[in-house]
Each structure stands twice: as structure tokens, then as C-alpha cells.
Amino acid sequence: MKTPRRFGIIASILPKNLQELVKAIAHANGADTIEVRLDLIMPGLNGEFTNILSTSKKPTILTMDPRVPVNKWTDATLQERWACWEKLPKGIKALVSDKSREIFVDMGYELIIFSAKEHRSPIFPWEKIGVSFHDFDKTPDERPLDLQLYAMRLTQSQAFIKIVTMAKGEKDLRTIQRLLKSDSDRRLRDTKDQRPLIAFPIGPFGAQGRIECLSWGSAATYGYVPGFAPTAPGQLSIVELRDNPTVAMALRR
């Protein structure tokens, strides 16, 4: 049985420019993987960015701002987001599509469903695309969250599945823990689908969940690079995560 990929501690970076990106990557020694949010540097994505990407020594995930409230995506906003991915320079697309490189993209579930409905060809190979769901208002109850994960497993995205929800209390942490445990049990039964699941809570109550999620079975946890701004509420630094004994023990397993 193939072991699911583990991304470990992911350093999430939202750079204002390429110079800031280079500095952040240089200070991300405690991370196993780099996530680059493209929102603020889209106009400057050129040969220099392609060079930064090609020389990265860590697995890298490219993504864009997911903060459109649940159920409020429209065809117009989805079309705009799809166009952003389509307009990436050819050099970047080639690097992502290169199967020998550990470079991936994180696309929202709504966007992937939109592209299927519109019969659009994938911009990147499916094995390089991760599918994500974010709820910045709440953690859904167990049944709706189970159905969301099931729907995401029906997509062709192969790199990873990611579920991020707002935690408002202990109950929400236990919901994410149960989801991860249930998915770990499923992988023991379904040896064909070993896509890694990344799941963790955000918000003030989510900090503990970011620490514990690896031990619950999440393929990754996210942190910010010291000296740079967090990219999500409740985020800890990659140093705090790396130095935490619970995280360290989970990474050794």
C-alpha cells in the first residue's frame, strides 16, 4: 500500500513583492514545505519568480486567497479566479506540470466543480492539483463535513485534499479530530485512494488544533515565517511548531 504524502510543517508566505518572498524563503528553515500566496505578486510574476520557484529546495504549493465566504462564489468570481490561473506565465506552468518537481497548486473545491461544469481542460496535471475547502465562519457539524470530504474525493485532484474551518470551541476541535481519524480508517480499507488529507481548525481556538492535527492524522499543519505576518487567524510560527513536542513527536512517526 502506497504511503500518503506528508507535507509536514508548511510555511505560508503572502509576499508583497519578489524581494520579500526571497527573504521569507531564506528564513523558512524550520519548514518542510513552502506555500506561496500569489495574490499580491500576480503582476510581477516573471522570469525572476520562475527562477525562485525552480531553485527552491523544498516542496512548494502555489495558491490564491480562498477568502470568499462559503456558498457565495458566483460564476463571475469563479471565472475571474480561473482566468488568474490561466494567465500564469508559461515558465511557471511548465514547472508545475513537470512531474519530476515537487511543485503543486491549491485550488478551491468550488473552482474545480466550476471547471468541470464548464467542461474546461485542467490547467495543470491532476496529480499536481490539490483541492481545498475553507469555512471562515464555523466548523460544520460532522455529517455535512463528512459529505464535503466525500464530494472532494470525487474530484480528480490527486495532490491532496484540504479542509480548513473556523473553531469556536472544543467541540469543533473534536470534529476535525474525528474527521481525520475517520479518513485514516478509510485509507486502511480503500488502498486505491491514498490521497493525503490536510485538516485543521483556525481562529483563536484553532491554535491548539494546529499543534495537534499532525498527531490526529493531518498530512500538514501551517505556520508563518518569523518576521513576517501570519496569513490566517490563529496561526503559529514555524519555529513554535517545530519546537513543540507534540508536533515533533508526530513528525517522527
Residue-wise pLDDT tens digits, 153-179: 999 999 999 999 999 999 999 999 999
Kindly state the cell numbers that stand for 215. Answer: 498527531
Whether 218 is in a domain gets the answer: yes
- pLDDT interval class at 1 (50, 70, 90): very low
Is the residue at 1 inside a domain?
A: no
Domain that holds residue 144: 8-252
Nearest C-alpha neighbor of 240 from the set 58, 31, 90: 31
Residue 3 lies in a domain: no
Residues forming beta bridges with residue 236, ordered by sequence position: 223
Alpha helices per DSSP H over 69-169: 75-86, 90-97, 109-117, 142-153
Kindly state the cell numbers that stand for 213. Answer: 492535527
pLDDT of residue 246 exceeding 80: yes
Total tally of structural domains belonging to the chain: 1
CATH number for the domain that contains residue 157: 3.20.20.70
Residues 6+ apart with CB under 8 A from 9: 30, 31, 32, 33, 220, 221, 222, 223, 238, 241, 242, 247, 251
pLDDT tens figures, 99-142: 999 999 999 999 999 999 999 999 999 999 999 999 999 999 99
The pLDDT mean for the chain works out to 93
Sequence-distant (6+) residues with CB within 8 A of 130 are 61, 104, 105, 106, 107, 157, 159, 160, 161, 162
- What is the 3-state composition of the chain as percent helix, strand, coil, each rounded to the nearest 5? 45, 20, 40
> By C-alpha distance, which of 136, 220, 205 is closest to 174?
205
The confidence score (pLDDT) of residue 191 equals 73
Q: Are 24 and 235 spatial neighbours (Cβ–Cβ below 8 Å)?
A: no
Coil, helix or strand at residue 176 = helix
The percent of residues above 70 in pLDDT, for the chain, comes to 97
Has residue 2 been placed in a domain?
no
Sign of CA dihedral 71, 73, 75, 81: negative
Residue 3 has pLDDT above 80, yes or no: no
**Given phi > 0 = left and psi -120 to 50 = alpha, else beta, which region is 234?**
left
3-state DSSP call for residue 62?
Answer: strand
Query: Are the C-beta atoms of residues 85 and 123 closer than 8 Å to each other?
Result: yes
CA distances from residue 246 to 26, 98, 220 in whole angstroms, order as listed: 25, 35, 13
The rounded distance, in Å, linking the Cα atoms of 107 and 111 is 7
Q: Choose among 130, 150, 104: nearest CA to 198.
A: 130
Confidence of residue 69 (pLDDT cuts 50, 70, 90): low
User: Does the residue 211 lie in any domain?
Assistant: yes
Q: What pTM did the predictor assign? A: 0.94
* Secondary structure letter of residue 56 according to DSSP: -
